Homo-oligomer: A and B are copies of this chain.
Amino acid sequence: MSIFERARELSIIQSSAAVIGWDQETCLPKSAAGHRAAQLAWLSSQAHELATSEDWKRGLEAAENSNPGSDPKLTANLRELRREFDRATKLPTELVARESTASSLAKHAWADARKKSDFASFAPHLATLLDIAREKADLWGHSGEPYDALLEGYERGTSTATVAALFDTMKPALRETAAKAVEKSAARAAKLPPGPYPVAAQQQLNARIAEAVGFDFQAGRIDTTTHPFCTTLGPHDVRLTTRYDESDFTSSLFGVLHEAGHGMYEQGLPAADYGLPSGSAVSLGIHESQSRLWENHVGRSRAFWTRWYPVAQEHFPQLADFPLDDFMAYLHRAAFSPIRVEADEATYDLHIILRFGIERRLLNGDLAVADVPAAWNESFRELFGFTPENDAMGCLQDIHWSMGGLGYFATYTLGNINAAQLFAAARNNPAIAAACDAADYAPLLDWLRENIHAHGGTLDPADLMAQATGRPPATTDYLAHLESRYL
């Protein structure tokens, strides 16, 4: 069997796990967690066995040996399949199954721990997942910085040192902009008219807007979870989730715009190449650039709301006498929130810088799991000037660690940097800029399809950025965007 047929089989196994994982997050009855973990562990070990099999290796070698080198896509696919194979074969099947079981159980423990703000009940799960992460990093290899080996899996070709340098460069400007934005916002005291904003009306408005910006509901849907996400269950099956707050309809809406950004990237990948690198997203930092672009650069722009605010007013009568100016001030308010997913653009990256530091120390063994709450609160005070009132609002707020997603958070800020750079580059085309200013986003989506989505994973993220925008990721456009929006 050829490596391409094998890769298709692997995509069937992995997407089956995606269906089961989606169901676990959206629909699972309380008593059913144990068996669900066993299902995911089985599929995960099947996938690992296949992707590390002798058959796979022989198929890959045969394709490499017969590659004439004249087809860049074929060459890129073989290069990336080789990279993934070499990474995968360094992990024993037993470790992969152990991680899947541990993270399935940890996710449920985390949900309970967050509810009770009880870090101690989650700590043993986190310790297990950290041990597994270090074990993986050591197997993959690194020169003293385990974070490097983990980051490579999310953002290939990007080092921890590169990320740290970008973050260090940004930090003073970010803190300054954030502090000024928070001060300015406090003076205006922008408030949305009181709710309820009924869930059913939110769902209607969200779906209408998601469809209008280009999310294809024939190949996707929106459901409800505690923590919004986007997952792909097959080449034409992209699932978004959001959560509802009846006192603020913008919470679910920006959740949907964010996840629809991810979803449109997935829907824009070449479906015929599903399961191959050329049909897959290249990295989390590029994925996040798509969500941030639609959420912040499109969704928080005045042009967007000039088009959509009257429609929102139809859905929510209490907005009738609330002027667009005040609504925009509300959308552009800034505050130092303890919660990352509720943070505004002005303060968001400070949350990431905090997590990046803590993870790096945990992985390097410079911080014990039991000390995470204290370290979190100290770092938080340094960056934000106050301490979260409890661990549910602090180190227990995110699902990521419970899923074994260590080395992951940094890619959010890479996404913000990339989003600003891509949006600026697209708007260099006057037709795209004019369309965006008229809230017509079809030309922008076309530009993204052509310059980002269509390439799948054939180029390294920094090279893809350079090809699309003229230079590798840099903080200039992003810091300029924040200043122009907030100051």
Contacts A9-B42, A16-B20, A19-B19; A29 near B235 (Cβ below 8 A): no
- Write out the residue numbers on chain B whose beta carbons fall within 8 Å of the beta carbon of A27: 221, 223
Contact of A416 with B by CB under 8 A: no
Question: For the complex, what is the distance from the CA of A31 to the CA of B274, rounded to whole Å?
Answer: 14
Question: For the complex, what is the distance from the CA of A188 to the CA of B455, rounded to whole Å?
Answer: 70
Contact of A170 with B by CB under 8 A: no
- Write out the residue numbers on chain B whose beta carbons fall within 8 Å of the beta carbon of A233: 23, 32
Contacts A27-B221, A219-B29; A237 near B35 (Cβ below 8 A): yes
- Asked if B31 contacts A219 (CB within 8 A), the reply is yes
Chain B min CB distance to A85 (Å): 21
Please state the number of chain copies in the assembly. 2
Contact of A308 with B by CB under 8 A: no
Bits for A255-274, please: 1 = Cβ < 8 Å to B, else 0. 00000000000000000001
Chain B min CB distance to A141 (Å): 33
Chain B min CB distance to A393 (Å): 28
Chain B min CB distance to A429 (Å): 30
Chain B min CB distance to A142 (Å): 35
Chain B min CB distance to A108 (Å): 13
Contact of A461 with B by CB under 8 A: no
State which residues 134-170 of A face B: CB under 8 Å: none
Contact of A171 with B by CB under 8 A: no
- Asked if A236 contacts B31 (CB within 8 A), the reply is yes
Question: For the complex, what is the distance from the CA of A28 to the CA of B20, rounded to whole Å?
Answer: 13
- Write out the residue numbers on chain B whose beta carbons fall within 8 Å of the beta carbon of A35: 12, 15, 234-237, 274
Contact of A38 with B by CB under 8 A: yes
Closest to A236 in B: B31
Contacts A35-B234, A235-B35; A221 near B16 (Cβ below 8 A): no
Chain B min CB distance to A60 (Å): 21
Contact of A234 among B12, B22, B32, B221 (CB under 8 A): B32
State which residues 12-44 of A face B: CB under 8 Å: 12-13, 15-16, 19-20, 22-23, 27-32, 34-36, 38-39, 42-43
- Asked if B29 contacts A42 (CB within 8 A), the reply is no
- Asked if B28 contacts A15 (CB within 8 A), the reply is no
- Write out the residue numbers on chain B whose beta carbons fall within 8 Å of the beta carbon of A31: 216, 218-219, 236-237
- Asked if A12 contacts B237 (CB within 8 A), the reply is no
- Asked if B16 contacts A217 (CB within 8 A), the reply is no
Contact of A394 with B by CB under 8 A: no
Task: Enumerate chain A interface residues (CB-CB to B < 8 A).
Answer: 9, 12-13, 15-16, 19-20, 22-23, 27-32, 34-36, 38-39, 42-43, 46, 216-221, 223, 233-238, 274
Given contacts A27-B221, A36-B234, list 8 more A-B pairs with CB under 8 A. Answer: A13-B42, A29-B236, A30-B219, A31-B218, A34-B236, A35-B237, A39-B234, A46-B46
Which 8 pairs show the lowest CB-CB distances between chains A and B? A35-B234, A32-B237, A31-B236, A31-B219, A30-B218, A31-B218, A32-B236, A12-B42
The 27 sampled A-B contact pairs (Cβ below 8 Å) are A12-B35, A16-B20, A16-B42, A19-B19, A19-B20, A19-B23, A20-B20, A22-B23, A23-B233, A28-B237, A29-B218, A29-B219, A29-B220, A29-B236, A31-B216, A31-B218, A31-B236, A32-B219, A32-B233, A32-B237, A35-B234, A35-B235, A35-B236, A35-B237, A35-B274, A36-B234, A39-B234
